[in-house]
Structure 1
Amino acid sequence: MARYLNAATLLELARDAQTRATAPCSCTKTPLDGWQSQPLSLDETQFEEIGTLLPEDDPEPTFSEYLPGKTSYWAADAPIAPRYFPYNRCAVWQCSLCGRLYLRYVEGGGYFVDRRIRAVKAELIEDVPLPG
């Protein structure tokens, strides 16, 4: 199983990746600032899974979303809140060519499966506790 990354560790990794990843890369051909269905053009062989936001001790993480103000799930400026859906079901992947970080998970519905991906931006990571 992949190594669990809490919000503080994710933030540290994201800051480091942003510092190093300044040049264009084939992984940035399609803007992935907000959640997107994984583009078919994305070369999966250039990505390495480096961790997960799914805690080992939480077999059924919440489906509650953290969307303050008027933001939406699809928005490029929506916060990345690791304790909330869909982040609490994400794997953290790194481009082996440029070092950029991405979140990936599989959205499953009644009749479909959609692999989704979003670029990690350090300034959007928020460690928001769950209510209760």
Structure 2
Amino acid sequence: MLLPVPHRRPGLRRALSLRQIPDDSYNPEILYVELWMLPVLFGPDGELMTALHRWFGVLLVVSAVPGCGVLIFIIGPPFYQHLTMLLIVAMSFQLRIRENRARARTRRLLNSARASGRSV
């Protein structure tokens, strides 16, 4: 999901100033991720962020957007920006699929318990 430009620019400026990244570096790729996905995607200590920086030479800057979620700015060479973006998008799709399957499984269990007359 893309956020409108007025929401992206302030987040990018704040994130760049926090990380002391010069403005003349590569144009960042910007991803929007829901807040609950962040620790699952990158691990509790950000292990995946470190690995992506080591493997592809990209820097991930995470900026929270109040009431919306999280913006991830991918800064680095364009090819590796796109590769990193595709990896993060694929992982977030898998997380969404798992969440939906778990929700459907819970719903089926509740419905079968109600149908059999047992209380849950």
Question: Which TM-score tier does this pair reach, normalised by the shorter chain?
Answer: under 0.3
Computing the radius of gyration from Cα coordinates, the structure with the larger value is 2
- Calculate the TM-score normalised by the size of structure 2: 0.26
- Calculate the TM-score normalised by the size of structure 1: 0.25
More strand per residue: 1 or 2?
Answer: 1
More helix per residue: 1 or 2?
Answer: 2
The structure, 1 or 2, with the larger RCO (C-alpha pairs under 8 Å, 6+ apart) is 1
